[in-house]
């Protein structure tokens, strides 16, 4: 049996009276690309935030490589090997691309270091299309996504959490991005990705969980998920799901 790199057990996250994540349990295997899908407001980002230390769950546990990491802060988890991107891309706009990536490597390392060569290697690996001394504030949305990914890789993580990285890409850009995520996995990094873009999810994920109103309603391979009645209902509404059968 393959190793479990990340596990959540009955995680609950509330915002006041709203239960954004309800008893979600999942197991992610080392080396896989794991998808989280669900309608808007389903709790996908909140679940990832509860895993990466941005939020502290009210109930349940999170395990990373067998260690109970529940309630540990995001900076601690980053050093332990959990890297992530954010749904709203957030660079340091007055710094260069290279400086932005170096910030990732400084945060991620137990011994802070100003590692120019490593930052260049990572930008090269993601195929960053512009000179490394370009000011980040001048990048377009797609270039920012590549920078965001490079910064996450610079933290030296073993688990990469992606929140809607494929949103807004053209079909050509999407194909390139899919290849890049596969190369990241081939580098030995486990990937958990939240995504609305179905081509992305269906092409690269080995397994998927589906959230709806904070609850996990389905889990399986892409083929199993597209044929799941509860999933169709969550996306299309009950009446239309019956028509679609
Ligand atoms: N910081 C917050 N304070 C209060 N409510 C929040 C907060 N963050 C999220 N929520 C609520 O929790 C629920 C889950 O939100 P979340 O952002 O996790 O959904 P999502 O599945 O990521 O949606 P989307 O696909 O739109 O990104 C929503 O009802 C949302 O309004
Ligand atoms: Mg979200």
Specify burial of residue 187 (Cβ count, 10 A radius: 0-12, 13-18, 19+). Answer: exposed
- Contacts of residue 167, defined as CB under 8 A and 6 or more positions apart, other chains included, come to 195, 196, 197
> What per-residue confidence (pLDDT) applies to 111?
53
What is the per-residue pLDDT for 75? Answer: 87
In-domain check, residue 36: yes
Cα(19) to centroid of ligand 1, in Å?
A: 10
pLDDT tens series, the chain, 245 aa: 469 999 999 999 999 999 999 999 999 999 999 999 999 999 999 999 999 999 999 999 999 999 999 999 998 998 899 998 876 666 788 999 999 998 877 766 655 566 788 899 999 999 999 999 999 999 998 999 999 999 989 888 999 999 998 888 999 999 999 999 999 999 999 999 999 888 899 999 999 999 999 999 999 999 999 888 888 888 877 666 555 55
Sheet holding 33-37, edge to edge: 82-84, 159-163, 190-194, 33-37, 207-212, 215-220
What is the per-residue pLDDT for 118? 87
- What is the pLDDT at residue 232? 87
Nearest atom within ligand 1 for CA of residue 38: 21
Number of domains in the chain: 1
Distance CA 105, CA 178 (A): 24
**Does ligand 1 have an atom closer than 6 angstroms to the CB of 46?**
yes
* pLDDT score for 240: 62
Rg of the Cα atoms in the chain: 18
Predicted pLDDT of residue 239: 64
Residue 15 lies in a domain: yes
Ligand 1 atom with minimal separation from the 39 CA: 25
Q: How far is CA 46 from the centre of its chain?
A: 12
* Residue 241: predicted pLDDT: 59
Task: Tell the residue nearest (CA) to atom 1 of ligand 1.
Answer: 15
Question: At a CB cut-off of 8 Å and minimum separation 6, what does 93 contact?
Answer: 135, 136, 137
- Looking at the domain assignment, is residue 214 inside a domain? yes
Residue 44 Cα to ligand 2 middle (Å)? 5
Answer yes or no: is 95 within a domain: no
CATH of the domain at 40: 3.40.50.300
> Mutate which of 43, 55, 84 to test ligand 1's pocket (most atoms within 8 Å of Cβ)?
43
Ligand 1, atom 8, lies closest to the CA of 46
64 in a domain, yes or no? yes
Q: Work out which ligand 1 atom sits closest to the CA atom of 47.
A: 18
Give residue 236's pLDDT. Answer: 74
- What's residue 108's pLDDT? 66
Q: Is residue 22 part of a domain?
A: yes
User: Does the CB atom of residue 41 touch ligand 1 within 6 A?
Assistant: yes
Question: Is 243 inside a domain boundary?
Answer: yes
Could you list the residue range(s) of the whole structural domain that residue 41 is in?
A: 1-72+193-245
- Whether 164 maps to a domain, the answer reads no
pLDDT for the residue 243? 56
Q: Six-digit token pair at 151?
A: 């910064």
Alpha-carbon gap, residue 13 to 203, rounded angstroms: 30
Amino acid 167: pLDDT: 87
């Amino acid at each position: 049996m393959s190793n479990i790199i990340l596990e959540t057990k009955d995680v609950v996250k509330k915002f006041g009276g709203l239960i954004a994540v309800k008893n979600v349990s999942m197991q992610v295997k080392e080396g896989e690309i794991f998808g989280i899908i669900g309608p808007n407001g389903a709790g996908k980002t909140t679940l990832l935030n509860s895993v990466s230390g941005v939020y502290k769950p009210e109930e349940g546990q999170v395990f990373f490589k067998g260690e109970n990491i529940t309630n540990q802060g995001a900076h601690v988890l980053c050093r332990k090997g959990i890297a992530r991107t954010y749904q709203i891309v957030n660079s340091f706009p007055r710094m260069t691309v290279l400086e932005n990536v170096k910030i990732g490597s400084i945060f991620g390392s137990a011994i802070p270091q100003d590692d120019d060569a490593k930052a260049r290697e990572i930008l090269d690996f993601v195929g960053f299309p512009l000179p490394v001394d370009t000011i980040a504030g001048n990048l377009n949305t797609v270039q920012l996504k590549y920078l965001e990914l490079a910064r996450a890789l610079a933290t030296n993580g073993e688990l990469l959490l992606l929140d809607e990285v494929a949103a807004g890409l053209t079909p050509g850009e999407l194909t390139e991005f899919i290849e890049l995520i596969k190369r990241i996995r081939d580098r030995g990094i486990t990937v958990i990705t939240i995504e609305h873009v179905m081509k992305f999810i269906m092409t690269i994920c080995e397994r998927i969980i589906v959230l709806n109103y904070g609850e996990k309603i389905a889990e399986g391979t892409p083929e199993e998920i597209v044929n799941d009645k509860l999933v169709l209902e969550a996306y299309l509404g009950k009446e239309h799901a019956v028509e679609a059968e």
